[in-house]
Amino acid sequence: MSFASSVRHFQTLVLSFHGMVVIETVEEERVQTLINAAVNDLQMAVFEWSVASGLTRSQGNLHNRWSNEYTPPGIQQPQLIEGTCEPLEVLRHIQSMGYQAIYWLKDFACHLENPIIARQLRELLHQFSHNRSTLVLTGHNISLPADIAQEVVYFDLKLPEPDELYQAITEVLKSLKGRVKVEIHPEGINALVKAMRGMTLQQARKVIAYAALDDGKLSPDDVKRVLERKIQVLHEEGLLDYIPPEMNPAQLGGFNGLKAWLTRARMGFSAQARAFNLPTPRGILIVGIQGCGKSLAAKTIAREWSMPLLKLDAGRLYDKYIGESEKNFRRAVTLAETMAPAILWIDEIEKSMGQSDSDSDGGLSRRLFGSFLTWLQEKSEEVFVVATANDLSRIPPELLRKGRFDEIFFVDLPDEQERVGILQIHLIRRKQDPRRFDLPTLVQVTDGYSGAEIEQVIITALYRAIHEKCPVDTQLLVEEIQATVPLSISRREDLHRLRAMAMDRFVPVR
């Protein structure tokens, strides 16, 4: 939703007698911009309250009814209303005013644990239902009493759009005029804006200012710095890990069937597909044996499509408070949508949204699963989901139904041709020339080994070569391979059961 659309949506809420609007955000600057843009058309006054400053008459819009004649020209000072710092007193004062206005209460939700304050708020909302005034509550992770929650509407303030980020860059450069050189063309500015998607305005301003001041110039090289900072910011948020295409070296051996399907699916993001009103691809589910490349496939898709990879660690969604886990999920997918087009990778989806043998989690897994299905079905942004799973028995049947994902792929142990590719990739990655090894022999002795097991054998052999001060050759690798017991032996029964379930149900990746 663009900023102009957000303004119209907010105006509609005010005009339709919504007495209280809740905005879960810490970006108070953007809330103020939203309110001021909305009330300039509505011709309403705005009041702001915080426990530190009390109730003040906002100077930020054209239709306030009061002005301070003693304020020097050009200086805008908020006009404090005495005796309104306490939460209960400010509600009583607002009720006594009795005229149309927007009242913005900052970090007010925590005070509603007091039943007297909660009751006073309900009486105020009843009055507002007749005079078209609106309370706006802002803060981080707002939790309301049940009897109040039924009377409010939540307003989803999206993260900044590209035009807002572009404006932020302009403001920073203007403030640093004379201190930094601008050595970046419009294409570079667009790359910076793209790199900042998913950040708040404050985060965007800080990272641009730091990049420019660090070396005294803003250049195309600063795009990498912005990406590095965004990786850190998203990691601190704790819901998504971010891997930009530029920092994604993933390579996938084999999987020719999956690669051919992805080549066709990529056309779903093209202008030709949009011209035919075709929906963008939803995503794929990859099930199969551990260590055979499911996670690597997700990384490879992002690299091949030149899209950022967002890994959703479902374990981070869980919160001890009721309702918070669902909020975390909404925050995660909203962030993914803000950064679209992107790849959203949900690893081992059965562990977070699968069927549980008990109700020990209070039904949380089922609720998260329901939220995920609804979002997957209705999402409109270009977010391609790659979900992976190891245990088919724990995957709810609804997820396997045709139409949930664009396709479901099954990954088996690598065949001979795939093992050749896997051996070559990992030998080259460890600076070993594959031509020095007897690949047919290595392919034969790794029969029944997963890609992860083959990689680990090569790593172990290299450690042994360093320790024993001997060269890495075919014989050394063979010895390490024979000393390893693969999953195909240690979990033979599980693999047979998985193959039997997947046979004729899913598309092989080969």
pLDDT in tens, the chain (510 residues): 677 888 999 999 999 989 999 999 888 989 999 999 898 888 889 999 999 999 998 765 544 444 444 344 444 556 788 889 999 999 999 999 877 899 999 999 999 999 999 999 999 999 988 888 999 999 988 889 989 998 899 998 888 888 889 988 998 988 988 888 888 888 888 889 888 888 888 888 998 998 889 889 888 888 888 888 888 877 777 778 888 877 777 777 678 889 899 999 999 888 898 888 888 889 999 988 888 888 888 898 988 898 889 998 766 776 655 567 777 888 888 888 888 888 999 988 887 776 655 455 567 777 788 888 888 888 878 899 999 988 877 888 888 877 789 999 998 898 898 899 899 999 999 999 999 999 999 999 999 999 889 999 999 999 999 999 998 999 999 999 999 999 889 888 888 888 887 777 788 887
- Domain(s) of CATH 1.10.8: residues in the chain: 162-237, 416-490
Predicted local confidence at residue 46, as pLDDT: 92
Class of domain 162-237: mainly alpha
Q: pTM value? A: 0.73
The Cα angle at residue 195 between residues 384 and 226, in degrees rounded to 5? 135
Instruction: Tell me if 273 sits within 8 A of 267, measured CB to CB.
Output: yes
Side-chain-facing half-sphere of 500: CA atoms under 13 Å: 7
> What is the C-alpha separation between 481 and 485, in angstroms, rounded?
8
> What is the C-alpha separation between 501 and 101, in angstroms, rounded?
63
CATH number of 3-154: 3.40.50.300
Predicted local confidence at residue 98, as pLDDT: 76
H-helix or E-strand containing 488?
helix 487-490
Q: Is the dihedral of CA 494, 496, 501, 503 positive or negative?
A: positive
Predicted local confidence at residue 122, as pLDDT: 94
Predicted local confidence at residue 319, as pLDDT: 61
> What is the C-alpha separation between 328 and 318, in angstroms, rounded?
8
Cα–Cα distances in Å, from 499 out to 116, 389, 392, 491? Answer: 62, 14, 10, 13
> What is the C-alpha separation between 225 and 210, in angstroms, rounded?
9
H-helix or E-strand containing 344?
strand 342-346
CATH number of 256-411: 3.40.50.300
- 3-state SS, 289-324, equals CCCCCHHHHHHHHHHHCCCCEEEECHHHHCCCCCCH
Predicted local confidence at residue 104, as pLDDT: 96
Predicted local confidence at residue 75, as pLDDT: 44
> What is the C-alpha separation between 409 and 354, in angstroms, rounded?
18
> What is the C-alpha separation between 467 and 243, in angstroms, rounded?
34
CATH topology of domain 416-490: Helicase, Ruva Protein; domain 3 (1.10.8)
Which residue in the block uniquely carries the two structure tokens 């997820």?
399
Query: Could you tell me where the beta strands, DSSP code E, fall in 115-262?
Result: 134-139, 153-154, 181-182, 217-218, 240-243
CB proximity list for 278: less than 8 A, separation 6 or greater: 268
> What is the C-alpha separation between 280 and 311, in angstroms, rounded?
20
Cα–Cα distances in Å, from 501 out to 202, 288, 390, 497? Answer: 51, 10, 12, 6
In 10 A of CB 215, how many CB atoms?
Answer: 13
Instruction: Tell me if 337 sits within 8 A of 269, measured CB to CB.
Output: no
